[in-house]
Amino acid sequence: MTIKIHQMLLLAIFLLVGQVQSSFAQSSGNDPEAKLQEMGIILKTPGEPTANFVLAVQVGNLVFLSGHGPMQENGEYMKGKLGSELTVDEGALAARLTGISLLTSLKHTIGSLNKVKRIVKVLGMVNAAPDFKQHPIVMHGFSDFMVEVFGESGKHARSAVGMGSLPFGIPVEIEMIVELKED
């Protein structure tokens, strides 16, 4: 009799844990598409590259995204150099805008951001004055945005490096590697 009660208690605990995990998964925002909508962010169709390259290449379950810049709502790139023309906060905003540009190309490539298993690796290049030293803080704007959208799956390995200049005078350029869920 005690074995039967013990088994029933274990079954009840197992079912309860399953319900809690399921409830947590639903409420923790594991739907990046819904999260973006909730944030008021609309991913538009990306523009075509202006040269002989593509915005993203999928190889197996990995997507490699080319360097992207901070596209503003008006369709123009944000411009400026950190440490001489832009503040760290403006740089972090540029990094966030670049994250939106990357997600735009990613969604266009894979169809739905719900296919993302994890943001794997990010290279952040910061257009900076020679004495600027806060490159990682600028890149926090991007990294924090990825975690906002993808939760723990948005945490990634990252490099933040300074550059003497970037194309078109943009303040940041970011490239990214993303792992997709198994089909």
The pLDDT tens digits of the residues spanning 93-142 come to: 999 999 999 999 999 999 999 999 999 999 999 999 999 999 999 999 99
Whether residues 24 and 108 fall in one domain: no
For tokens 């844990």, what's the residue?
Answer: 17
Compute the distance between CA of residue 71 and CA of residue 87 in angstroms, rounded to an integer.
18
Question: What is the residue range of 157's domain?
Answer: 32-180
CA distance from start to end of the chain: 45
Whether residues 6 and 60 fall in one domain: no
pLDDT at position 18: 44
For tokens 């403006």, what's the residue?
Answer: 90
pLDDT at position 11: 42
Whether residues 24 and 36 fall in one domain: no
Closest alpha carbon to 88 in 121, 126, 118, 62:
126
What's the total number of domains in the chain? 2
Q: Taking a C-beta distance cutoff of 8 angstroms, is the pair 122, 143 a contact?
A: yes
Whether residues 52 and 3 fall in one domain: no
Whether residues 123 and 164 fall in one domain: yes
Whether residues 39 and 69 fall in one domain: yes
Whether residues 50 and 26 fall in one domain: no
pLDDT at position 4: 52
Whether residues 23 and 110 fall in one domain: no
Whether residues 87 and 120 fall in one domain: yes
Higher per-residue confidence, 25 vs 59: 59
Q: Taking a C-beta distance cutoff of 8 angstroms, is the pair 101, 49 a contact?
A: no
Whether residues 46 and 8 fall in one domain: no
Whether residues 150 and 95 fall in one domain: yes
For tokens 């819904």, what's the residue?
Answer: 34
pLDDT-derived band at 88, boundaries 50, 70, 90? very high
> Among 42-56, 60-74, 108-122, 146-160, whose mean pLDDT is lowest?
42-56
